[in-house]
Structure formats: C-alpha cells, structure tokens
Structure 1
Amino acid sequence: MGSLRDGKTNSSSGRRWCAVTGGRGFMARHLVAALLRSGEWLVRVTDLAPDVVLGLGDTEDVLDDALRDGRAVYASADVCNLDQLIQAFEGVEVVFHTAAADPSKNDQQLHYKVNVEGTKNVVDACMICKVKRLIHTSSIAVVFDGVNGLLDANESLPYPDKFPDAYGQTKAEAEKIVMKANGISGLLTCCIRPGSIFGPGDIVILPTLDQCGKTHFVFGDGKNCDDFVYVENVVHGHICAEKTLSTMEGAKTSGGKAYFITNTEPMNMWDFLYLLQEELGYKRLFKIRIPLIVIQAVSYLVEWGYKVLHHYGMCQPQVLTPARIKYLTVHRTFSCNKAAEELGYKPIVTLMDGMKLAVKSYIRLRNHADLSYKHI
C-alpha cells in the first residue's frame, strides 16, 4: 500500500485529492468508487482499521485497482484524533465526512465522542489543512422526535426539543457544527440528510429479511410510509453538493445548508420490505401482524433486560427499544425539492431497479460467503 507521501506525487495527472472519512463504511465504499470512476479525483480513504480490507463486489474491484496504481491511498485515522486527521487531510481539496458511530448502539458517550467531537476535529483539521469544501453525511434522524410522524417534511422543519436516541441527537449537534463552520477560514460546507439507505453491501435490511425466510412481520397497522433511498443516489447527492459548492453562485446558495436526499418515491414501508423478500426468492409469504401495544410491551421488557445486563458490564443497551419501534411504525417521508432546485439532484436509479440490484448483489455475496477477504 502506498504512503501518503507517495500519494501526493500523483497530482501531476491534473486530478485533485479528496478524502473520505469512514471510507470503509457501507455508503462510503460506493462514494469512493464513484469518485474514482469519475476520473476527476484521487482519493484518500480514511478509517479506523490499520489496513484496508477488500471484499467482493464492483466497488471493491475499483478501489483495489486504484490502490495499486496510486489513484487512491489508505490512511488509518481516527476522527477522535486531530493529529491523525491533519496528516490524512494534507494536500486535500475536498473532504467527504461519512464517519459516525454505529446507530444500533444507543451509547450516549460513544455517539458524542465520535459524532460530535469527531466532527469538530474534522472541521478543525479542514481549516488547518486549508481544505476548500466539506460535505458532511448527516441523517433524517436529526428532525425526528420519536413521537410524531413526518409526511413530505422539508428543510424548514426545526430540530426537535427531544430526541429518541443518542444517534439522532448527536448527528443534529454535528450538523450544527458543520453548518456554522461555513465561510470560516475559506471552508465551504454542506450537509446531506439521506433517507433509509439500501443497496449492495447493506448488512442490515437484506440479511434480516433473509433470516425471516417466508415469514413477513408487520408491526402496528402496517400503514406507515417511508422514504428509502438507493445507495448510489445518496452518493450522487454528495457529489451534487460538492459540485455546487465549487461554483461561486452555488457556494452562496448552498453553503452552510442541509438537504434531504431520497429516491423521491415514498411508499408503504412494509410493502417495500415484502417486495425485497419476494426478490430474495421467498414467494407466498406468511404474514404475521403484531399489534403495536404488544410489540411496544416486548420492547420495554427487552430494553429493561439490556439495562440490567449493561449494569453488570455484560452488554450495551441496543437493538429493540421503544424508540426504534416507534421509528418503524410512523410515517417518515421527505421532500427533495430543495435539493433538486439548489443542488441539481435527481435520483439516477429507481426504487425498483435499486431493489433488483441490491438483491442480486446480496445473493452473489451470500453464495460466496465462504471466500476469505483480501487484505491490502
């Protein structure tokens, strides 16, 4: 693997350097691949691991080739370590900040350290290294209070007074830090709020549905809608934001702002999951509807059990909580009109095409699960 010093010599090609924090994450892998495919960027991939790990998939092949020919370098860097970030951002024109704590772990201390303090370090490192543009991966969770559903919500919606979990609260704080930094020390910033992301490489939605087999669970009345977004559309939203900030007019319009990014195809959440199970090959699914009052009671018991175990140092509270049950049973749809008007964003992959691509990739990876990963 090339060093950071080796990576700087490739700028003679006329291409510029960008960095992607949390670069081995689900969406970030697709972002790195898209940046490399564009031919416009040399990419510095940063993450916690001491070495980059490549698995199966088109995004991995693209990065593998780029690492070998110097169009990409890997930099082990912790967002909680300012010195490491400064080294990783040296000579970089644009930073895409995707690193965040695992949302399934409702650990306030962990989320504050990574999402808030880590983002503050990213901003500081950008200013020290004279980075020109910072695109921050935020979340639709920053406007969700865990109680009220959202229908066609737009960016005028304020942050809630109370959040259902540590993830949403700290992502909102991080977003404020990024937006406030816009225009300081020559840094331009923009935040992207993706809907519920799915696609090749997802380790949550498809594996869970696969485990359910022919059983299709529905919580509550099953009438709530969601705004799922194919991962390549999220990547496209980030790239649109970067290109917008690179122009004088775009910087004035979009600098320091946040944008919702979805597939612009909101649909019933349970129907979406049902269609994915059918794509996985499970036909004639047996539906089990669990009343909301029942699943909420179970979630309170499970949460209590996690707290007891956590008290004795046996595990951290996570997974099935009352807040997450509410998250799965209320409307959550968002308007992308602002992103379309100001960033020029338009989904490049439809929801149905995205489902087919995601399932095809998942089945291929599942069939090769016995293959070992390559270490670079």
Structure 2
Amino acid sequence: MSSQERWCVVTGGRGFAARHLVEMLISYEMYCVRIADLAPSIRLEQYEEEGPLGKALKVGRAQYVSADLRDKTQVLKAFQGAEVVFHMAAPDSSINNYNLQRSVNVEGTKNVIESCVALQVNRLIYTSSPSVVFDGVHGIINGDESLSYPVKHNDFYSATKAEGEALVLKANGEKGLLTCCIRPSSIFGPGDRLLVPSLVTAARAGKSKFIIGDGNNMYDFTYVGNVAHAHICAERALASKGPVAEKASGQAYFITNMEPIKFWDFMSIILEGLGYERPRIKIPAVVMMPIAHLVEFIYRILAPYGMKVPQLTPSRIRLLSCDRTFSCSKAVDRLGYSPIVSLQEGLEKTIESYSHLRAEQQPRKDRQSKIHRYLGGGRVADVLLWKDEKQSLATILILLAFYYNFVASGYSMIATICKLFLLVAVFLYIHANLPERIFGCTIEKVPVSAFHCSVEKTNRAALSVVTQWNTAVDVFKTLCRGGDWMLFLKVAVALVIVGLLSAISFQRLYLSGILIMFSAFYIYDKKEDEIDGIISRITNSRSTPKSE
C-alpha cells in the first residue's frame, strides 16, 4: 500500500511502545507518520538517526509536531489531514496524582475524540491498560473483556484510563469515526526506561533479593513489538470495512504474549541474564504496605522539591503480589492478532539490548554512606540499613515480640522489668545446658565476660554522663546571660518536640520508632545524594531574599 499523501498520527509518539509502533508503521510503508509529543522538538538516539525513523524524517515521510493534548488547538493542528490516530499518550503510571492523570487521560482524550470528529479522521485506536478492570485486591486469572470496571481502582492512573477508554468506545460511529481500545499487559522490551533500569537499580542496591508475596502469582507480559503489531492489526481490521470492521469497532481487547509466567520467574530471568542475583527472600505484602504508604507520603511532601517518583508505592505492591493473566481470544478472533515474537525471544532481545547494564560493567560503590557513619558503622548500622537482611528481619521480630509481651501487655513498669529479667534468666539457663554441638552445628556459649563491665568502660560512661550534664549547664548559663536568641529558639523547639512526644502513648511511640528506624534510615542510605539535594534546595529557597 502506498503511503503517498496518507497520514497517521501517533500521540505520545516518543514513549516506549509508541517508538516501536512508529518504526513499524514506517517500515511497512503504510502511512506517512506524524509524531505528536510534548517536547518542543524531536531528539533522536543514535540508532534512530541511522534507522527507519531518521531516514523518514529526512525525506518527509515522518514529521514531528509538539502538542499538549490538554490544549485542543494544538491537537487540531497535529491531526490536520490525518486518516488514522493512534492515541498512546499518557502520564507515567507510577505518578499517583489525580489532577495530572485526569487532565491527560480524560480531558486530553476528550480533545482527541472531538478533534477526530471535527477533522473527519476515519479511525481512532486508543492504548488502554488491563488495569482498568483491576481493583488492586482480587487477582485475575485468564480474564476476558466481559470483566467490568471495578467500583474502586488500584490508583488514579487506572481509574482515569478507564474513563478515557469508556469515552473512546462511546465515540464509535460518531460521524463515521471507528474506534477500538488496546489493553497491552505489562510491556517489556528494548528501549524500556522503567522495568529493566529499575530492576538493575534495585539489584545494585541489594534490594533485588526480595520477593513480595508468596512468589507464585502468575502474570502475562507482552513484548513491545507485539504491542505495536496489535495496534496495526486493530487499524487494519477497522480499515477493512464491512462485517470485519463492524465486528472489530467499538470494542476493547486484551493483548499479551499468550504465554503466562510466574511474575518473579520473569524478573529472575532478566536479573540473572544481566548477571545479578535472583530474588529469593519472601516478604508478605502486608508487611511492605505500611512502608509503601510512608514512602508515598514522603513523596507527596517532597515532590515539589525534586524528589523522584518512588518505586515502592502501595499500588505497585498490589501489582507485584497479585495474579494478572488475560485471554487474547477476542483479539485473535476479531483483529487477527497473534504474537510475532515469542516470550523467550523477547526476553533474549531485551537482555541483549541492556548489555551496558550488566553487573560486571557497573562501578562499585565502596565508600560508606553518611548515615552508616553516623550510626557508628558497626553492627547496629548494618542492621538498621539492611546490610544483612536476616539480622534485620530477626531484629524486627524480636522488637515486635518484646512489644506484644511487654509494652502492649498493660503491666506496670516494675512487673515488666521483672518479667524481662525472668525471660533472660530462663534463656541463659537453657542455653548454658545445651550441648556444644547439635545436628553438626556448633552452639556458641555466652561468655561471662559479656556481662562484665570493666573499670575503663565504667569511667567512660560516667565521663559521658558528666560531660552531657556540664553541656546542659553551659546552655542554661548562656540563656541566663541573654542575647543568644538562636540558642533560645533551639531549646524552645526541642522542649516543644519533647512535649508533643510525651503526649503520644508509649505503645504508639514504640511501633512508630521501629517503623522509622528500619525504613527512614534505609531510604536515606539509598537516596542520600537526592535527599541532600532536596534539603539544599529547600534551604536555599528559604534563605534567598525575594527581589523587590
């Protein structure tokens, strides 16, 4: 088919899946391709300059137009003379911001539909998501298009994508416009800037060892080339006219590689292919949820100061621990879709394309972090910063056991101390009477010296107490002399904070302390430079005088 004077538009044309669709359209010579995206101009990667896209731009078979879907005037300009629109633009799904998601996925989609109708565009193919039928609670096994939208979605991205999809399906047949929606499941492949890079970042930080949930949840992944192929299948079906177009239009279609796999097996293949350790430590999703909520709360506060979108969010925890497989029978029947790249071949291509992220090519971070040094750089620091996952988990379990047996028990302070000493005495007595070896394992005895306090240690402890006392006395002397308002402010703020903390029950304070110690320190350890940069920007913005 000649593409002479026949144009199609790809919104969000510089996105991951959209780039592959653009190249496929150009390679098939079906249409001249107009790429619409937010950037003021197009910047090609080296491989793109030398490939079909670069050549097409040079000879005029491809164009780039800067367009914000939220501005209808810009949308109308981008769609001029187009026969087909592939609407693939959407914000980052990990940004759980309602106003942003709605402005693009709903209001922007309205502008796309109205512009297609006004300019008599023949066909509109909308890139939706399987998440439009996912409530974040119940897993989906071999789900088909009969599934309805849930009352409450997993996040704002899913909710607004569902609204946008409904608008596109409703517009089918309006003044000759034929529409359909494609729901590709978990896209992967070369050029992905989210899945593989985030996996490698986690592996470099030692976080790829963890499996969230039981590790048996099944998933459907879709190679990005198959996603592009599905869009073309949909366009060809709508262009066929007659019974084929009538049967295909006004419908939504799940698109997968049609090869379900355990989610964590898929991740392991990629990690091991790049030379990293596969996940092996299972953590229940209910344990991760409070931490994820805390991370999301921190992000909401610090996002205006440049904090990047966190990978650990409540919606993502649900996605990582649930079953999500879908049937492609409807797409096969009505669109003629079938995968052109197998799951194994897709994984091989993906791993090969990220050879620069292989473990042996990554620089090693040998220096200790700032927070590690502040925590003493010893065993306590290693436990709080999750350097040894087993010790950290064991410590949390011990602290929680202490909480339920002593803090939350309602005993008086004296009764609690007596109970604690009794527990220690029973443990030491049993431990002392154990044989030196059990089932081939050596039992290390607790030496008496572990309880002995030397004169040197006693002197140091006493000196530390006296030093702190003298420091406090010096502070009060300075306050008595007056003049140092900054010192007064520090003391006042410290006393207010202590007063507020004292109003909180010890039980809540204890649990909050555990959560903060094992999450806040760890987050700062991994995001030290980023958090320091945010703090620096906040400080500078407050200290910089406003111009008159």
Alpha-carbon distance between aligned partners in 1 of 2:96 and 2:308, rounded to the nearest angstrom: 8
In structure 2, what is the equivalent of residue 353 of structure 1?
345
User: What amino acid is aligned across from residue 223 of structure 2 in structure 1?
Assistant: Y
Distance 1:365 1:87, change over 3 A: farther
Determine if the alignment matches structure 1 residue 335 to structure 2 residue 330.
Answer: no
More strand, by proportion: 1
In structure 2, what is the equivalent of residue 249 of structure 1?
243
User: What amino acid is aligned across from residue 111 of structure 2 in structure 1?
Assistant: N
Provide the identity percentage: 50
Q: Which runs of 5+ in 1 are unaligned?
A: 1-10, 370-376
Distance 1:191 1:338, change over 3 A: same
- Which residue among 145, 157, 180 is the counterpart of 2:170? 180
The answer to whether the Cα contact below 8 Å between 1:307 and 1:317 also exists between their aligned partners in 2 is no
The answer to whether the Cα contact below 8 Å between 2:123 and 2:177 also exists between their aligned partners in 1 is yes
Pairs within 5 Å for 1:314-333:
319-333=311-325
More helix, by proportion: 2
Distance 1:46 1:292, change over 3 A: same
Alpha-carbon distance between aligned partners in 2 of 1:40 and 1:292, rounded to the nearest angstrom: 47
User: What amino acid is aligned across from residue 287 of structure 1 in structure 2?
Assistant: R
The answer to whether the Cα contact below 8 Å between 1:107 and 1:317 also exists between their aligned partners in 2 is no
Determine if the alignment matches structure 1 residue 232 to structure 2 residue 225.
Answer: yes
- Which residue among 276, 290, 293 is the counterpart of 2:286? 293
Distance 1:304 1:364, change over 3 A: closer
User: Secondary structure in 2 aligned to 1:147?
Assistant: coil
Distance 1:179 1:58, change over 3 A: same
Alpha-carbon distance between aligned partners in 2 of 1:31 and 1:210, rounded to the nearest angstrom: 26
Provide, for residues 247-271 of structure 1, a one-character-per-residue CA deviation record: whole Å limited to 9, x for no partner: 2222210111100000000110000
Determine if the alignment matches structure 1 residue 219 to structure 2 residue 209.
Answer: no
User: What amino acid is aligned across from residue 141 of structure 2 in structure 1?
Assistant: L
Alpha-carbon distance between aligned partners in 2 of 1:234 and 1:59, rounded to the nearest angstrom: 23
- Could you tell which deviates more after superposition, 209-218 or 321-330? 209-218
Alpha-carbon distance between aligned partners in 2 of 1:258 and 1:93, rounded to the nearest angstrom: 21
Pairs within 5 Å for 1:1-376:
14=4, 16-57=6-47, 61-211=51-201, 212-213=203-204, 215-247=208-240, 248-282=242-276, 285=278, 287-309=280-302, 319-363=311-355
User: What amino acid is aligned across from residue 203 of structure 1 in structure 2?
Assistant: R
Alpha-carbon distance between aligned partners in 2 of 1:306 and 1:101, rounded to the nearest angstrom: 17
- CA positional deviation for 1:309: 3.9
Alpha-carbon distance between aligned partners in 2 of 1:72 and 1:303, rounded to the nearest angstrom: 40
- CA positional deviation for 1:205: 1.3
The answer to whether the Cα contact below 8 Å between 2:295 and 2:313 also exists between their aligned partners in 1 is yes
TM-score relative to the length of structure 2:
0.62
Which one has the largest radius of gyration?
A: 2
Alpha-carbon distance between aligned partners in 2 of 1:26 and 1:173, rounded to the nearest angstrom: 23
User: Secondary structure in 2 aligned to 1:93?
Assistant: strand
Provide, for residues 281-334 of structure 1, a one-character-per-residue CA deviation record: whole Å limited to 9, x for no partner: 33x646332232321221122233334446x87758754222221111010000
Alpha-carbon distance between aligned partners in 2 of 1:316 and 1:296, rounded to the nearest angstrom: 20
Alpha-carbon distance between aligned partners in 1 of 2:348 and 2:47, rounded to the nearest angstrom: 15
User: What amino acid is aligned across from residue 336 of structure 1 in structure 2?
Assistant: C
Alpha-carbon distance between aligned partners in 1 of 2:270 and 2:5, rounded to the nearest angstrom: 39
User: What amino acid is aligned across from residue 355 of structure 2 in structure 1?
Assistant: I
Distance 1:67 1:109, change over 3 A: same
- CA positional deviation for 1:165: 0.7
Alpha-carbon distance between aligned partners in 2 of 1:27 and 1:219, rounded to the nearest angstrom: 27
Q: How many residues align?
A: 357
User: What amino acid is aligned across from residue 351 of structure 1 in structure 2?
Assistant: L
User: Secondary structure in 2 aligned to 1:53?
Assistant: coil
User: What amino acid is aligned across from residue 239 of structure 1 in structure 2?
Assistant: I
Alpha-carbon distance between aligned partners in 1 of 2:53 and 2:329, rounded to the nearest angstrom: 33
Provide, for residues 53-84 of structure 1, a one-character-per-residue CA deviation record: whole Å limited to 9, x for no partner: 11143597221111001110111111111111
Alpha-carbon distance between aligned partners in 1 of 2:254 and 2:76, rounded to the nearest angstrom: 29
- CA positional deviation for 1:364: 5.2
CA RMSD of aligned residues (A): 2.3
